[in-house]
Structure 1
């Protein structure tokens, strides 16, 4: 499942804890087609707990935390969860579907299944509305807002859970509106000449967008510290190999800060990263990055041989649709 862009903004909500009293939770997960041998739980007070898979293929742990909204990640995707003292949760999931396949059982399951079902509905809402004109989007947005809050109020759910989720949803809806407006601006770039760049090349010298004139250019905006970015690397390598020698260049632009310049150089070498590896001159404040409205990564851009924008928010390498798009365009 493609994660909603605005959900990336929700990592701050793991700070919504109702008490500073330590809570003890039992948690286990059985995951089909797992992306990693480790699950990481993030939560209030900077909780970061890595849970390795055991010999039985199960992730099991006791979690000492505070009541509130948490997040788990397998290094590729993530999902929100709610943990409170005394919870004894077991989860099953298939990463090929992710949120659509998540089912919780045990003490605390009702609240967490509510959050999973909400994530799926949020995804469906994005797909159905984010390409709509403003009036239609606003009408659908207000209907969803009312439906979500009514569903929360009418559910037989823990009262502290309701309080946390109300706060989260208020912020979420504000973020949703903001990102919709940003997406409208991004879409306006499609079909127009692309903003350009002139960045340091890992192999030496300066590389400009104009250097690829006459070819398609698939751009990956990333950073060394970004786990979802690094999770895309194996998929990017495969797509690069498939289209090697074709009329396309694969360009990765790092938005690492200057203090991580050596880290970037070393990682590109250690991971034997292919394509054209560039380092943005002013990280997030680079003109090219700002022109594309990039405020979260990874972000992918597809530019045509004539320098015009084909898609200012292109599919990820891990998306099956990317190969379909490129196979139709690239000779």
Structure 2
């Protein structure tokens, strides 16, 4: 029997997405029927889908061929379509599209599951499979509303097809998307733009330019409205935008405001004591980074902890003292500063210029590139 590889991780993402959707429904006062609809899907994933996929895809010596897997998924899709058809009439108008987009997200994630399992396939074969999967399941024509989760799942599947870890900066995936022709081009281009905005891969201005190019090619696309909405959500992250005056607690328990440093350039490091890459950077990159900037009083290195409680934050800094300003935000990824800057992973670095005007919400990691940018901003 083969190992399950990333199956639990991907199934967990299905369940997490359901829980998030249910949480959102409660916060936005969606109907009881919608909550019931999503709860039914959660039950289906836990009690049926997990076992079906495990038996078909993992409890076998060799990866099933692509055509057989697509036939397997078509049976799942038929059941999901029937589930949706039986219940969509009880949903509010704005809930119907959301519910449909979620079932489509599940189907795209099943494609990623297959691509993860089929390690023996070459990149070109995986790319061909993904396009065939979308065509044979009808998803490339049926997707009319690109939710954030659906756009992200399409890009995650493409990353898997190209054997590139999702979230790792690269040019191969966007370059490939731009070469796509035919029915899938519009879908993948829109998904790429949305995902880049979700992950802050580029600047607001770059996203705006990408959307303008998309509209020039697809002037009547059904995805134009969601692209516009996504761009609006990034307006506060424009270069030069005034950053909200966030408040933190320092090691002495005193309140510290971002505006207290408005006459400085701030290199802001979002981290937590449980974050392995954060700690590794502190050990290998930060000492030299701090040393090279020690004589520049107009540059502040601000370390913002999002640990759930203060104890591990203080304990780490007590054992591993560092230069700079150390403050505590808490609340993990629910911290206001995390939501404001759309932070999906840490460490995350930002540069805030004088007068608390944003330079970049996605700055280089500690190193020569970051130092050059900071010195440039203070005229050194």
> TM-score, normalising length from structure 2?
0.45
1:123 matches 2:170: yes
CA distance in 2, matches of 1:226, 1:269: 17
**Quick check: which has more Rg, 1 or 2?**
2
SS in 1 for 2:196: helix
- In the alignment of these two chains, the number of paired residues is 211
Contact 1:301–1:311 (8 Å) recurs in 2: yes
| 1:208 alignment counterpart | 257
The aligned counterpart of 1:328 is 376
Distance 1:12 1:142, change over 3 A: farther
Q: Report Cα offsets for 1:266-313 as digits up to 9, x if no partner.
A: 011112232111110433233222211122211111011221001111
Q: 1:299 aligns with which of 336, 345, 348?
A: 348
In the TM superposition, residue 128 of structure 1 has moved relative to its aligned partner by 6.3
1:7-42 CA-partner distances (Å, limit 9, x unpaired): xxx99349796325799xxxxxxxxxxxxxxxxxxx
**Which residue of 2 is the match for residue 249 of structure 1?**
300
How many angstroms apart in 1 are the aligned matches of 2:267 and 2:8? 28
CA distance 1:140–1:127, shift in 2 (3 Å): closer
How many Å separate the matches in 2 of 1:207 and 1:128? Answer: 44
**Match 1:263 to one of 312, 327, 330:** 312
2:287 to 237, 251, 264: 237
Which has the higher relative contact order, 1 or 2, with Cα contacts under 8 A spaced 6 or more apart? 1
Pick one of 295, 303, 323 that aligns with 1:274: 323
Superposed CA deviations along residues 234-286 of structure 1, whole A, max 9, x for unmatched, are 3123211111131100011111113xx21111011112232111110433233
Q: In structure 2, what is the equivalent of residue 48 of structure 1?
A: none
CA distance in 2, matches of 1:174, 1:231: 36
Q: 1:45-89 deviations in whole A, cap 9, x for unaligned?
A: xxxxxxxxxxxxxxxxxxxxxxxx99xxxxxxxxx98698xxxxx
Q: Distance in 2 between matches of 1:186 and 1:144?
A: 30
Q: CA deviation at 1:142?
A: 5.5
- Aligned-CA RMSD value: 4.3
Aligned residues of 1:196 and 1:288 also touching (Cα < 8 A): no
Larger relative helix fraction: 2
1:225 to 251, 266, 274: 274
Q: Secondary structure at the match of 2:307?
A: coil
Alignment gaps of 5+ in structure 2:
1-6, 13-52, 63-111, 127-159, 205-232
- TM-score, normalized by length of structure 1? 0.51
Q: How does 1:1-331 map to 2 (within 5 A)?
A: 12-13=9-10, 18-20=57-59, 118-119=163-164, 123-125=170-172, 140=178, 143=181, 176=192, 178-182=194-198, 183=200, 184=204, 185-186=233-234, 188-233=237-282, 234-246=284-296, 247-258=298-309, 261-318=310-367, 320-330=368-378, 331=380
Note closer, same or farther for the CA distance 1:271–1:177 as it changes in structure 2 (3 Å cut).
same
Give unpaired runs (5+ residues) of structure 1. 1-9, 24-68, 71-79, 85-107, 130-138, 148-169
**Residue 303 and residue 83 in structure 1: after superposition, are their counterparts in 2 closer, same or farther (change >3 A)?**
same
**Greater percentage in strand:** 1
